[in-house]
Amino acid sequence: MDNTLVDFKHGISLLSEEDADTYRDAYDDAPGIFGTMIPLDGAIEAFTTLSTVYDTYILSTAPWNNPTAWSDKLEWVQKYFGKDEGTPAWKRLILSHHKNLNHGDYIVDDRDKNGVKDFNGEHVHFGSDKFPDWPAVTSYLLDKAETSA
């Protein structure tokens, strides 16, 4: 989610001065930070579009030392995708520190940490030169779906 679907820097910008100082080297441990973030440009539309072609899931790591992160991430997904059956991300959130334990053809992530480098499918490196934004990722994955159909 972070820096792929979610604008993590936005959450940092909303921290109080005191929390910004306290969590300077570990912003993701700041209580409530994940509930304040906004989606990255095009992220919601891209996930929604790709969910019509692929069996999509949101796979994210929640900080071990921030218990609110776990519920904040669920509430974020429900806020931006809806919480009712039939919405694109309904019951499609997986929180794991070992993303490689999940299986799929593609993983879209901004880093190769938390098991991404050992994932059994292709890493679509979000934010890279090849995949700088959601339109590039969406175009690539939709083309892949068409060629495999």
**Architecture of the CATH domain 6-148:** 3-Layer(aba) Sandwich (3.40)
Report the pLDDT averaged over residues 86-99. 97
Quote the Cα angle for 130-126-85, to 5°: 130
Q: What is the pLDDT of residue 148?
A: 84
Least confident among 55-59, 101-105, 116-120, 145-149: 145-149
Q: Say if strands 122-125 and 58-60 run parallel, antiparallel, or are unpaired.
A: unpaired
- Domain coordinates in residue numbering, the chain: 6-148
